[in-house]
A and B are shown apart, each in its own frame.
Chain A
Amino acid sequence: MAEASARRDGATLYVQGELDFESVADLWKATESLFRAEPLHRIDLSGVQRSNSAGVALMVEWLYQARRHQWPLAFVNIPDQMRAIIEVAELETVLPLA
């Protein structure tokens, strides 16, 4: 079963592991409280080894939460494989990709 984790450092959230249907649910639970604390401005995805559309769905949810708090948010260091899914889903203009 795929596993993923996230670590906060200042205004940046570093994500690691594989993002699939199961791991994303756990990762959302683990990061939910971060969106009630200090502002997050960047989510660094360089540690994502593999993702499917569940990972992209989590990016959309993170963006939604950031916008609720009016935090400017950018996704950085997106792996090519994940960027390809974002393009398949035609979300490249919706998600703030740096």
Chain B
Amino acid sequence: MSSLLRNNWLWSLLAFVLGAAITWVLLDRRVPAGPPEPAAVEEEQVEEKEPVLIGAGAAEAEAEVAPEPVFSRLMAPGRPEELTLFDTDSDTTATEPQVHDDVPPGRYGVGSADAVPHQGPPDGFTIKGNAQSMLFHTPDSPYYGRTKPEVWFRSEADAERAGFTKYARRPRKSANPGNTAG
């Protein structure tokens, strides 16, 4: 066995390094793969909306592929608002749903909203809470898409106030920090 190792030590070393390199690359790639997913979803939504906004020029827009949204109005703070055709009557703005203020607090208090099955979250509520595990998932969580929300939260602080814990990728590591010396 020792002669075998002596004759092939270079190949063994090569295999060792190759295994280490492949594992390292795969481990390293898995971390940034999570967060970009929501951005990709947003881009898809923008692309879906664009043909509706542009109307007749939809075919041209598809050919040119302009992912940046086109804003009809500048939102600079000092600039007075110019009324468009659709802003003439103040009643029209009143009929628009202003969900931010009207969301009734859910069973976990202010900042939470009970999830309705087969329905999306209220505006501004992006954090999914799981009442069984008492964990909440932000859009950065790799399990965000798979989690069926039982309660929505507006912010992480709201979720933590309700007694939920943020999902951590490796909870075992923080459980026993003493074993790192080795």
The finding on whether chains A and B are genuine partners in a shared complex, rather than unrelated, reads no
